[in-house]
Chain A
């Protein structure tokens, strides 16, 4: 059978498969995200290994974090999870305008977060001369937060695509609505990862020993 099982099982009261009852694509997204947790788990451990190892040349990331600034951008990203929920909620209520508005708001907040990250990277590189190649701690910091930023960027692209489809077609079909839910799952995942990164990498940072 196919990805249409969802619709098929709605039409036929008796599902013709043994299964979890979770729609195929949603289950697939959950599985994919479980894999992503290990991806970021490896990156974060990697950062923790190097973040406070003494004796590296140059600036350590933990010495130059701008916690107030990053707190604000973290708040922005967290709020985008709220707007994501609102978008999904509007979609389930068939509220076309609401869906579109909240989708766009989520993408906008995500973009603001990305802007903050670009600003942060620029600051670190230009003002503090901490480059990818300065020391292993810096390498680990840039690669970890860079991969997170890439995930946010991909999320923004997906949100804007849904927004565009909704504008072009005057709303989202059931199938696209499920896509919205999947993008939502992904978006919340990216947020959760950021909560961990912000806590472990920024707030609990320990100076080099």
Chain B
């Protein structure tokens, strides 16, 4: 520091210091704990979204179903889609990215740990805000509006009272909230406001983490970890973050426009006043199509880690896989109108977008063939993560191929708004992203918990899920081609659609059973699973070089990376005949590193926990509740309260040093870490000179203090 010395911070609150209990979770800035919180939240919403799907499937299991009212059905499919995309797959990817990204690139944390906590809390409160629509939202069916079918969702014929009609008072405009249906005229209640503003909050969370992850990848890679030595999952995290960075502002604008239309009388999408509903489709899909790759690219990264490990071969065509990922992302911004072939865009636009869409098949094909090439001639071990990875490749390929059929415009006209589309995107998102994510969970479970998940249960989970998945979504292809329309709550018996619909429903329950088995496996293995040791899979990448359990600072000595698959090359060398020979195992390598290099290049800086991300995030939903009810005095008061909370948190944040300066009054928070650091230090027979409270083991002297 050369300029004016930083004064000791004036803090209003005492710096949070607990390392256990609720407050430690609320104030943590450790990327691993944040990742775990993301994970549990995402999984909870997976269960909720899954239950919503099961209710839908019960309704459709027979012709003229009486189980749900039309209103409840609309609400459930809207919330199912919204939940699975924004509250499950995105945060689940975020969970793994958070937990693993710094470990994968040899960093001690993300670039902005407090912003990371902020992302999580914004997401958390945004999700609660969105779901509070089930309690507070209203979805008045249009009364006296002619020409829209005349079905009052709340009083729909067929569903008697009690047929889950209480669910009808929630967003019912579909996950893409097409206008003007989701506008003030046709959805006059507050439910769609909860939807628009909830997604706005959740989008902000993703925007913040995308900046954070990008700076982390670009600036914090361990020495020698050049970009093209990064694990593919780190690459896909980076590419996904770019996608988020450039697509979220567009949906933010679109959602603001909806909110202004609904709350303040603007006329962006009011068809009756000259507004253009197609504009909404453009803006939504300009975000929405990159969003598809935001969902799938992380899973592609996960699979690119699992396949080489369990094939005991390097990833075939590493750089091609990386560049194909970048190409998919780049092209992904130029294909949005293929969601709109039936909306009346010009033939030239249709041809252009159709062709552009087909080009995406090229990089995708590159990836698939590289994955196959990785497995080819490999010594494949069919552990659960590998099964899921193979499942991913197979199911995703089916989804990709049906996707190409939508790129052909006339064929797409036939398929638009039918179950064929539903089948397609579930093969991509469930068969792709979700299989990939489960593979990642099984793969990195030992990294997170130090234990292995039960293989037998894992395999039962996989095979049941594969069966259930194909039984659920396979028949939807032909249901769709036979003309079964999306988002209809009923179909007539004479359509002949009933048998396959029943099969689909059975499949959905088989998936549910498989998830139940997964949960049993997770919770029993977490406590009682077999201890995994450092390197249970004989893995290739450096996250497995971090100690188990991983300390807050990840690596006492960040690794110096000399090659792609650095860890593997430390373990294996070639003999004269070019065969890989094991020269060391993980424990030896890690012990060596800790022993030999106890003079780190700089002290371990770790950020202290902080209250402020939590409170900053807490203010946002309060403000947005206020916006929804801004016509009432307490609505205005809520805006003010939220604003004050957030502003106070920002001021506190700005005043709070990232880490407490040296010689500050001792806080219990640091003891655990200090103990651990000292432990490492003393094991080196030197004893770290206390360089300052957070000084790393060994101090600066070359030979230690011995």
Contact = CB atoms under 8 A, between A and B. Distances in A.
B274 A39 contact: no
B558 to A, nearest CB: 7
Interface in A141-170: 142-143, 147, 161, 169-170
B6 A20 contact: no
Contacts of A174: 1-3
Interface of B: 1-7, 107-109, 111-113, 207, 210-212, 214-215, 218-227, 245-250, 252-254, 256-257, 260-261, 264-268, 270, 273-276, 279, 283, 286, 558, 601-602, 605-607, 654, 658-659
17 contacts: A1-B605, A2-B605, A4-B658, A8-B605, A27-B218, A28-B112, A35-B248, A38-B247, A42-B286, A46-B279, A49-B276, A50-B276, A135-B274, A136-B270, A171-B3, A171-B4, A173-B6
B276 A94 contact: no
A50 B107 CA distance: 49
A204 interface: no
Contacts of B219: 5, 17, 19-20, 22, 24, 27
A209 to B, nearest CB: 14
Contacts of B261: 139
Given A35-B245, A140-B268, A12 B1 contact: no
Given A2-B605, A28-B111, A49-B276, A143 B260 contact: yes
Contact of B108 (A1, A11, A50, A135): A1
Interface of A: 1-5, 7-8, 11-12, 14, 16-20, 22, 24-25, 27-28, 31-32, 34-36, 38-39, 41-43, 46, 49-50, 53, 55-57, 94, 131-133, 135-136, 139-140, 142-143, 147, 161, 169-175, 177
Contact of B274 (A4, A136, A170): A136
A3 B249 contact: no
A143 B257 contact: yes
A32 B211 contact: yes
B223 A28 contact: no
B605 A177 contact: no
Contacts of A25: 112
Given A133-B267, A136-B273, A172-B3, A18 B659 contact: no
B267 A135 contact: yes
Contacts of B223: 16-18
B702 to A, nearest CB: 14
A41 to B, nearest CB: 8
Given A14-B601, A43-B253, A173-B3, A34 B245 contact: yes
A11 to B, nearest CB: 8
A17 B219 CA distance: 7
A94 B3 contact: yes
**Which of A19, A34, A41 has the most chain B CB within a 10 Å cutoff?**
A19
A173 B1 contact: yes
B659 A2 contact: yes
Given A22-B219, A28-B211, A135-B274, A12 B226 contact: no
10 smallest CB-CB distances across A and B, nearest first, come from: A133-B265, A139-B266, A39-B249, A19-B219, A42-B253, A38-B249, A18-B221, A171-B4, A136-B267, A24-B111
A35 B279 contact: no
Given A17-B219, A18-B222, A42-B254, A35 B2 contact: no
B246 A16 contact: no
A1 B601 contact: no
B3 A55 contact: no
Given A2-B605, A3-B607, 6 more contacts: A1-B220, A25-B112, A28-B211, A46-B257, A135-B274, A169-B7
**Which of B1, B227, B606 has the most chain A CB within a 10 Å cutoff?**
B1
A136 B4 contact: no
Nearest to A11: B602
A36 B601 CA distance: 37
Given A4-B659, A5-B219, A173-B3, A132 B112 contact: no
A57 B606 CA distance: 60
Given A27-B215, A42-B250, A3 B112 contact: yes
A135 B265 CA distance: 10
A174 to B, nearest CB: 5
A36 to B, nearest CB: 7
A91 B246 CA distance: 33
Contacts of A140: 268
Contacts of B214: 27-28, 31
A174 B657 CA distance: 13
Contacts of A20: 218-219
Contact of A31 (B245, B265, B659): B245
A31 B216 CA distance: 12
Given A4-B659, A34-B246, A43-B253, A139 B260 contact: yes
Contacts of A17: 107, 219-223
A129 B268 CA distance: 18
Contacts of A136: 266-268, 270, 273-276
A56 B274 contact: yes
A177 B275 CA distance: 47
Nearest to A26: B215
A28 B215 contact: yes
A171 B5 CA distance: 9
Contacts of A53: 274
A20 B606 CA distance: 22
**Which of B5, B249, B659 has the most chain A CB within a 10 Å cutoff?**
B249
Contacts of B211: 28, 31-32, 35
Nearest to B212: A28
A22 B171 CA distance: 44
A32 B211 CA distance: 7
B605 A24 contact: no
Nearest to B241: A31
**Which of B223, B245, B265, B274 has the most chain A CB within a 10 Å cutoff?**
B274
Contact of B253 (A12, A16, A39, A133): A39
Nearest to A20: B218
B249 to A, nearest CB: 4
B256 A143 contact: yes
A161 B214 CA distance: 28
Given A24-B219, A46-B257, A36 B112 contact: no
Contact of B107 (A1, A4, A12, A172): A1
A170 B219 CA distance: 32
Contacts of A32: 211
A150 B221 CA distance: 36
A2 B606 contact: yes
B268 A2 contact: no
A163 B502 CA distance: 68
A16 B224 CA distance: 10
Contacts of A11: 602
Contacts of A19: 218-221
B658 A3 contact: yes
Contacts of B252: 39
Contacts of B225: 18
Contacts of B606: 2
Contacts of A94: 3
A25 to B, nearest CB: 8
Nearest to B10: A168
Contacts of A132: 260, 264-266
Contact of A35 (B113, B249, B268): B249
Contacts of B7: 169
B1 A7 contact: yes
A145 B292 CA distance: 31
A139 B221 CA distance: 46
A53 B248 CA distance: 28
Nearest to A174: B3
A137 B253 CA distance: 16
Contacts of B605: 1-2, 4, 8
A153 to B, nearest CB: 13
Contacts of B245: 31, 34-35
A24 B221 CA distance: 12
A131 B266 CA distance: 9
